[in-house]
Amino acid sequence: MTNVLAPYSESKLIYDGYSKTGMINDAISFIIPVYNNMPDSFTENPNILETDFKSDNTRVYADVSSTLNVRTGPSTSYEVITSVDRSEIMTRIAKGKQSGDLWDKVKLSNGIIGYVFHEYLVSLPDVQIKQINVSIDNNVINKGESKKLNVEILPEEAKNLPIEFISSNTSVATVDSSGNILALKGGETSIKVKSKLNDVSSSEIKIQVYSKVTDLVLDKEKLVIQVGDKFEAKPVVLPDDASNKKVIFSPEDKNIADVDETGIITAINQGNTKITVQTEESNITKQIAVEVLPKLTEDEIIFDKSLKVNLNEVTGWDINDISVKRVKELITTKYRIEIYNNKGELLSDEKSIGTGSIIKIIDENGVIKMEYEIIIYGDVNGDGKINSVDLLVLQRHILEIEILNGPALKAGNINRNGKNPSSLDLLIIQRHILDLQLIEQ
């Protein structure tokens, strides 16, 4: 073969191929021909002049923030053999004395010989880091705050050698090159310090980021329930990464409705009362208005089988046909049916329902026998449609710009995991709008 660079370039292509397919560690047998009278060392590219170099034997490392390319020759026009970072110790076997930019010849620890730009090489100091001690005044950092690590390098003569700071969970906290820790969200991470020139590293320091409670949102602000029924309240503590999400439930009148420590409300007797919900931290307080009605018999109000009724919540609506007239057709009862939108306005038959609309079942004397709350998953603004407006409203909630509550909060939890709506719910709305996957009601 007359192309003297072919062995390198073609073998590199093969290496890259095996690397990308995950076969780099597979055992492969090769038969390599050995010819007579072959020299003991490889021959340089004929374009590289020996007179441009002088012999050297200095241990060096790359003074770079990321990586340094090692090339087949002393110019950027030559191909890259590999890349090295600061932790790679090399031997400079020839120092460049070219005119213009200087390039040195180096040998890596794995035996690879190549050329690197002279400006990035620094001689390995005689004194190496032997020990790194790390401490911090307080292992708990409030979200959004910054705190500096105390670092001691031994021996003293090695204190200016390059080190790096590593956070095991950069989503919780990051650490810069000076050892400043920035707390990003509630959780735990570990920080350690490592020498860039040898394998010496510090022990890990556990860091806890504390995220304070800022708000409390109720998934149910008004509960209409029948005597004997139970309902589980699932308030949302904000922010999502709050460190202490414990809430305390307390009833105003246990004779009407009681509540246990997990938020399960039990209707005892007919009447009106309130359930107080309070965060353990910050003492943020909200109340659920509870109206307990007499127990109805199963045949007094019958919903179509296509609908899903859970106490006073109704889901399972066909969003292509949600007029008031159609809703009334899906309910069988001897009582009068009135439907109000989420603003409390009575809707005529041709109007459409939306999330937060209320179905009122009223007897001949004007007494409300039962109220039902309509939930349409994905319709967080309550207009009965699922479109880009809902996408924007839910996005603002996730960013804590404008918080949803009550039925809108429940409608935003499209994947029904009982948690605060997240980017996953946003994605589901996007896919619905693009007709890729319709939201199941």
Q: 195-204, 236-245, 333-342 — which is least confidently predicted?
A: 195-204
Q: 85-94, 259-268, 399-408 — which is least confidently predicted?
A: 85-94
Residues 240, 362 within the same domain? no
Look at residues 80, 107, 124 and tell me which one is the last residue of a structural domain. 124
Secondary structure class of 369 (helix, strand, coil):
strand
Secondary structure class of 127 (helix, strand, coil):
coil
pLDDT grade for 18, boundaries at 50, 70 and 90: confident
For 144-209, give the DSSP string: T-EEEPEEEEESGGGTTS-EEEEES-TTTEEE-TT-EEEE-SSEEEEEEEEESSSS-BPPPEEEEE
Per the domain annotation, does 4 fall within a domain?
Answer: no
Per the domain annotation, does 361 fall within a domain?
Answer: yes
pLDDT, tens only, 407-431 = 999 999 999 988 899 999 999 999 9
* Radius of gyration of the chain from its Cα atoms, rounded to whole angstroms: 35
pLDDT, tens only, 47-60 = 888 889 999 999 99
Q: What is the pLDDT of residue 22?
A: 80
Cβ proximity of 327 and 335 under 8 Å: no
Strand duo 205-210 + 140-142: pairing: parallel
Residue 349 has pLDDT above 70, yes or no: yes
Angstrom CA distances, 361 to 34, 46, 256, 308, stand at 95, 95, 21, 17
Per the domain annotation, does 237 fall within a domain?
Answer: yes
d(CA 151, CA 296): 71
Residues 95, 146 within the same domain? no
For the chain, what is the domain count? 4
Residue 204 has pLDDT above 80, yes or no: yes
The whole-number average pLDDT for the span 289-314 is 95
Residues 281, 313 within the same domain? no
pTM reported for the whole predicted model: 0.69
Look at residues 293, 320, 335 and tell me which one is the last residue of a structural domain. 293
Residues 363, 244 within the same domain? no
When the pLDDT of each residue in the chain is averaged and rounded to a whole number, the result is: 92
Residues 185, 114 within the same domain? no
The contacts found for 98-106 with CB under 8 angstroms, 24 or more apart, are 98/52, 98/74, 103/74, 103/75, 104/56, 104/60, 105/53, 105/74, 106/60, 106/70
Domain that holds residue 277: 215-293
Closest by Cα among 336, 328, 332 to 301: 332
The whole-number average pLDDT for the span 366-394 is 96
Residues 309, 427 within the same domain? yes
d(CA 88, CA 86): 6
Residues 279, 319 within the same domain? no
Residues 57, 117 within the same domain? yes
Question: CATH number, domain at 402?
Answer: 1.10.1330.10
Cβ proximity of 103 and 87 under 8 Å: no
Look at residues 210, 233, 256 and tell me which one is the last residue of a structural domain. 210
Residue with tokens 């009148």: 253
Residue 42 has pLDDT above 70, yes or no: no
Cβ proximity of 263 and 248 under 8 Å: no
Per the domain annotation, does 192 fall within a domain?
Answer: yes
Question: CATH number, domain at 79?
Answer: 2.30.30.40
Residues 219, 159 within the same domain? no
Per the domain annotation, does 59 fall within a domain?
Answer: yes
Residue 279 has pLDDT above 80, yes or no: yes
Question: CATH number, domain at 151?
Answer: 2.60.40.1080
Q: 5-14, 196-205, 250-259, 423-432 — which is least confidently predicted?
A: 5-14
Per the domain annotation, does 415 fall within a domain?
Answer: yes
Cβ proximity of 158 and 200 under 8 Å: no
Cβ proximity of 273 and 265 under 8 Å: no
Residue with tokens 């031994």: 154
Question: How many CA atoms, within 13 angstroms, populate the side-chain half-sphere of residue 231?
Answer: 27
Residues 402, 306 within the same domain? yes
pLDDT, tens only, 213-241 = 999 999 999 999 999 999 999 999 999 99
Residues 157, 253 within the same domain? no
Closest by Cα among 265, 234, 270, 233 to 251: 265
d(CA 128, CA 115): 26
pLDDT, tens only, 87-143 = 788 999 999 999 888 999 999 988 999 999 999 999 888 888 999 999 999 999 999
Residues 139, 105 within the same domain? no
Per the domain annotation, does 32 fall within a domain?
Answer: no
Per the domain annotation, does 438 fall within a domain?
Answer: no
Residue 195 has pLDDT above 70, yes or no: yes
Containing 142, the helix (H) or strand (E) segment is strand 140-142
Secondary structure class of 337 (helix, strand, coil):
strand
Cβ proximity of 149 and 116 under 8 Å: no
